Amino acid sequence: MTSVFLIAAERTSAPVTDWAARIGWVVGLLLFVALVYWLMREGWKWRGTLQGDLPPLPAAPEPSGEARLTMSGRYHGSTTAGQWLDRIVAHGLGTRSRAELTLTDAGLHVVRPGATDFFVPAGALRGARLDKAIAGKVLTEGGLLVVTWAHGDRLIDSGFRSDRAAEHSAWVDALNEMTNTTEGAR
């Protein structure tokens, strides 16, 4: 009986942690994560280089005329028209941001705090539709306002989501009416 008490009373050493191995694994993991982020950044820059033939975005004219529609929401990016996964990153078009849209007779003004603003002249607008996806963003059916416009020799789809999704259909109607009017004037 005393042997049981002796065994129970014996001190055992605590498990030894191999700190060198643990630190090595943590450093290795951090280096791997840094490598992945660096490769993603290089891929983004390479995509911008490949799209270097895209001309600079037109400057917005001085405010002229009354605003037909205004909308605040989010800009989710631009893609090659009809190819919702082919993101365009040149000239800051790939940067997601908040956005304030204003539709005037001159065109579509997109003001983006923290990112490059851009302007789409009325003659470059080709139409609008409700969709559910654009590169990097998938929403419910009809949750995304997609504006198609011409820039240089490319057709571009730009995706927006209003803070009030009920506004989307009014934007589609106004943009499509505007493109039919400008196409008839050409």
Please report the pLDDT score of residue 6 as a whole number: 60
CATH number, span 69-185: 2.30.29.30
Q: Please determine, for residue 5, whether its predicted confidence score (pLDDT) is greater than 70.
A: no
Say how far apart CA 95 and CA 78 lie, in whole Å: 9
17 backbone dihedrals φ, ψ, rounded to 5°: -90, 130
Please report the pLDDT score of residue 184 as a whole number: 47
> The tokens 């605003």 sit on which residue?
67
Please tell me which residue, 65 or 74, carries the higher pLDDT value.
Answer: 74
H-assigned helices in the chain: 2-9, 19-50, 168-185
pLDDT digits (tens, 9 = 90+) for 115-140: 888 999 989 999 999 988 888 788 87
Once rounded to an integer, what is the mean pLDDT over residues 37-62? Answer: 86
Q: How confident is the model at residue 10 (pLDDT cuts 50, 70, 90)?
A: low
> For residue 170, which of 93, 76, 67, 80 has the smallest C-alpha distance?
67
pTM for this predicted structure: 0.74
Say how far apart CA 124 and CA 157 lie, in whole Å: 12
Q: Which two tokens stand for residue 9?
A: 């009373």
Lowest mean pLDDT among 25-29, 62-66, 167-171: 62-66
Residue type, 60: A
Once rounded to an integer, what is the mean pLDDT over residues 93-101? Answer: 91
Once rounded to an integer, what is the mean pLDDT over residues 72-90? Answer: 89
Cβ count near 80 (within 10 Å)? 16
Contact criterion met (CB below 8 Å) for 97 and 112: yes
Q: Please determine, for residue 3, whether its predicted confidence score (pLDDT) is greater than 50.
A: yes
| Torsion angle of the four alpha carbons 132, 93, 55, 86, in this order, in degrees rounded to the nearest 10 | -40
